[in-house]
A = this chain, B = another copy of it.
Amino acid sequence: MTASSVHGPAERPARAVTRTLQDGVKKTVLPSGLRIITESIPTTRSAALGIWVGIGSRDETPAMSGASHFLEHLLFKGTHKRTALEISAEIEAVGGETNAFTTKEYTCYYARVLDSDLPLAVDVLVDAVADSLLEPTDVETERGVILEEIAMHEDEPGDEVHDVFAEAIYGDHPLGWLISGTPESVTPMTRNQIDNFYRKRYRAPEIVIAAAGNLDHAAVVRLVRKALAGSPLDTGAADPAGPRDGDKPVRVRRPHTVVLHRDTEQAHIVLGTVGLSRYDERRFALGVLNNVLGGGMSSRLFQEIREKRGLAYSVYSYASQYADTGLFGVYAGCAPGKAAEVLDLIRTELARVAAGGITAEELVRGRGMVKGSYVLGLEDTSSRMSRLAKSELLHGHLMSVDELLARVDAVTTADVAEVAADLLAREQSLAVVGPFDEGAFPPG
Interface positions of A (Cβ within 8 A of B): 43-46, 76-77, 84-85, 87-89, 92-98, 112-114, 140-149, 151-152, 154-158, 263-266, 268, 291, 296-298, 302-303, 306-314, 333-335, 364-365, 368-373, 375-376, 379-381
Contact = CB atoms under 8 A, between A and B. Distances in A.
A342 B373 CA distance: 42
* Residue of A84, A93, A371 with most chain B CB atoms under a 10 A cut-off: A93
Contacts of A372: 92, 94-97, 113-114
Contacts of A335: 147-148, 151
Contacts of A113: 372, 376
A308 B85 CA distance: 10
A62 to B, nearest CB: 23
Contacts of A146: 313
Nearest to A213: B379
A309 B266 contact: no
B379 A44 contact: yes
B310 A144 contact: yes
B376 A85 contact: no
Given A155-B157, A375-B114, A89 B365 contact: yes
Contact of A309 (B44, B141, B297, B334): B141
Contacts of A97: 296, 372-373, 376
Contacts of A379: 44-46, 379-381
Contacts of A364: 93
A318 B157 CA distance: 25
19 contacts: A43-B43, A84-B307, A85-B298, A92-B369, A93-B298, A95-B368, A96-B376, A97-B376, A113-B376, A114-B375, A114-B376, A147-B335, A148-B313, A151-B265, A151-B335, A152-B266, A152-B313, A152-B333, A379-B381
Nearest to A151: B265
Contacts of A264: 155
A113 B426 CA distance: 37
Contact of A155 (B94, B265, B310): B265
A143 B94 CA distance: 47
A297 B380 contact: no
* Residue of A112, A148, A373 with most chain B CB atoms under a 10 A cut-off: A148
Contacts of A381: 379
For the complex of A and B, 7 pairs with smallest distance between CB atoms:
A95-B372, A144-B310, A88-B297, A141-B310, A89-B298, A149-B313, A151-B265
A401 B135 CA distance: 43
A141 B307 contact: yes
A172 B171 CA distance: 50
B311 A148 contact: yes
* Residue of A76, A291, A310 with most chain B CB atoms under a 10 A cut-off: A310
Contact of A310 (B143, B158, B302): B143
